[in-house]
Structure 1
Amino acid sequence: MVRVVSVAISEKKGMKKTPVQEAVLVEGFGIEGDAHGGKWHRQVSLLAEESINKMKAMGLDVSFGSFAENISTEGLELNKLPIGTLLKLGEDVLLSVSQIGKECHTRCAIYHQAGDCVMPKEGIFAYVLRGGTIKSGDSIEILDGLTAAVMTVSDKGSKGERIDTAGPKIQVLLAELGICTVETTTVPDDIEDIQNVLKDWINSGHDLIVTTGGTGLSKRDVTPEATLPLIEKQVPGIMEAVRYHTGKITDRAYLTRGMAGVAKDSLIINLPGSEKAVEESLEVISKFLVHGLDTLKGKAKDCGRK
């Protein structure tokens, strides 16, 4: 059975959490009364009971909340879930997985005691998309939702000479919208390489395909040229909105040549290559992206204004 086995909170960060009988999750925030709640991507933390039991088997005196996790689960390999996976807890609560594991900058007491810790490797974090009350024993269900594939276009990135931060940022921002990233890749700035991946993803039927990089004016920037022949319907308003709004931040935004359009059942969007640029771009697009995808899938009731 896949279920919640414990819910825990703490009033301060950096300390173990205390199990409670039930907790109220607040949309866009986290757990009411918990120090880790806030307008960020790690609103709620989850760790499997199976992971906690590993540490117990090492002789550690640990229990629910010892690893500062909010929700302990049973029957689910949390760290195998894609970013953006939708989890329904109990009757009402809806979470979207936003991060798998974490980097520990300082070693906690558990690490010093055992020489290892499961939370950085096997714990996950999530946004609260829909709030409600949860308690031990509540069921957990993985829901079907919108899917995405994210491609980073970079000569240096494809050779391992540059660390990609834009692609992972896109995954996190899409998760905030409840969109699950099921495939990612990095390719060089080459039309054939870009198109080969795009064709595969289009045929796979991903709802959304986002590229980052290769939209500028240099000779190697060819992402729009690779995308255009595959598009059946252009959706110029998407990037027009991005250029208009981000152009208020920097006039260099007007030099990006990214485009958007539909190919079969997929919406393709070309974004610039920097982390800051994709964050600013998706802030604009997020206002209408889900409605556009629902329209493409035939789920939207009405395209008119409310």
Structure 2
Amino acid sequence: MTGQVAAVSRNEVYSFSKPNRDSIRLLTGLGVEGDVHAGETIRHQFRMTYEPDLPNLRQVHLMHEELFGELALKGFKVSAGQLGENITTRDVDLLGLPAGALLHLGEQAVLEVTGLRNPCAKINDFRKGLLAEVFTMDSVTGEFTFKSGVMAVVRHGGIVRPDDAIQVETPPFPHRSLERV
């Protein structure tokens, strides 16, 4: 599977959205240089209060650009970086990837997909009613559907820019489905 980087974003402070940048630098084992969520241990503002020493499996947040089109059909105008993602992708089935999939971005960077982003209620502060569109529960099976992207850790650092290619490398079988992290 081959895709493309649509946009890159980072923010030095805790904020729901992240401004788009011309490029970001991924740091091995840490995340996006200069981003508030970079670090070896959990940097998620709420989870740091009760799990501060756990490994940071959410170093980089990726979201598929195709979600924005789906949301637009339901009346929600959303663009790259506004939902807090660091890398917005195009033509990559992020939600269909297995745990441990490697994403080769640009010339050097490699990310390992760790799980699904668990959307928080702050999404409704950004756009009222948006949470129901990115986080749903099947009334029959009780299964949750998370549409707000995936989380990853940096296995090999490098610069990532819009229009960089993304090559997907899946792990050996059996594949493990993504769970929320």
Q: What TM-score, normalized by structure 2, do the two folds share?
A: 0.75
Q: 1-side partners of 2:119 and 2:129: how far apart?
A: 18
Pair 1:133 & 2:159 matched: yes
2:16 alignment counterpart: 15
Pair 1:98 & 2:99 matched: no
Tell me: CA distance 1:132–1:109, structure 2 relative to 1, closer, same or farther (3 Å): same
The alpha carbon displacement at 1:121 in A equals 2.5
Pair 1:66 & 2:92 matched: no
SS at the partner of 1:108?
helix
SS at the partner of 1:112?
coil
1:49 alignment counterpart: 65
Q: Deviations over 1:211-261 (max 9, x none)?
A: xxxxxxxxxxxxxxxxxxxxxxxxxxxxxxxxxxxxxxxxxxxxxxxxxxx
1:124 alignment counterpart: 150
Give the alignment's Cα RMSD to 1 decimal. Answer: 2.2
The alpha carbon displacement at 1:133 in A equals 0.2
The alpha carbon displacement at 1:45 in A equals 0.3
1:79 alignment counterpart: 95
Uncovered stretches (5+) of structure 1, i.e. residues with no partner: 150-181, 185-306
Tell me: CA distance 1:114–1:86, structure 2 relative to 1, closer, same or farther (3 Å): closer
Q: 2-side partners of 1:115 and 1:41: how far apart?
A: 22
Q: What TM-score, normalized by structure 1, do the two folds share?
A: 0.46
Q: Deviations over 1:25-56 (max 9, x none)?
A: 00001111111111111000000000122122
Structure having the higher Rg: 1
The alpha carbon displacement at 1:183 in A equals 4.3
2:37 alignment counterpart: 36
Calculate percent identity across the aligned residue pairs: 31
Q: 1-side partners of 2:19 and 2:72: how far apart?
A: 18
- Divergent runs of 4+, >4 A: none
Q: 2-side partners of 1:115 and 1:130: how far apart?
A: 33
Q: Which residue identity does 2:100 align to in structure 1?
A: G
Q: Deviations over 1:100-120 (max 9, x none)?
A: 231526553245244534384
SS at the partner of 1:15?
coil
Q: 2-side partners of 1:62 and 1:103: how far apart?
A: 15
Tell me: CA distance 1:35–1:183, structure 2 relative to 1, closer, same or farther (3 Å): closer
Q: Which has the higher contact order (CA 8 A, sep 6+)?
A: 2
2:143 alignment counterpart: none
Tell me: CA distance 1:62–1:27, structure 2 relative to 1, closer, same or farther (3 Å): same
Pair 1:143 & 2:163 matched: no
Q: Which residue identity does 1:132 align to in structure 2?
A: G
Uncovered stretches (5+) of structure 2, i.e. residues with no partner: 41-55, 136-145
Q: 1-side partners of 2:16 and 2:122: how far apart?
A: 13
Checking the alignment, whether the CA contact within 8 Å between 1:110 and 1:116 is kept in structure 2 is no
1:2 alignment counterpart: 3
Aligned residues: 151
Checking the alignment, whether the CA contact within 8 Å between 2:4 and 2:89 is kept in structure 1 is yes
Checking the alignment, whether the CA contact within 8 Å between 2:32 and 2:38 is kept in structure 1 is yes
Bigger fraction of residues in helix = 1
Q: 2-side partners of 1:140 and 1:52: how far apart?
A: 19
Q: Deviations over 1:94-144 (max 9, x none)?
A: 000001231526553245244534384241000100000010000000125
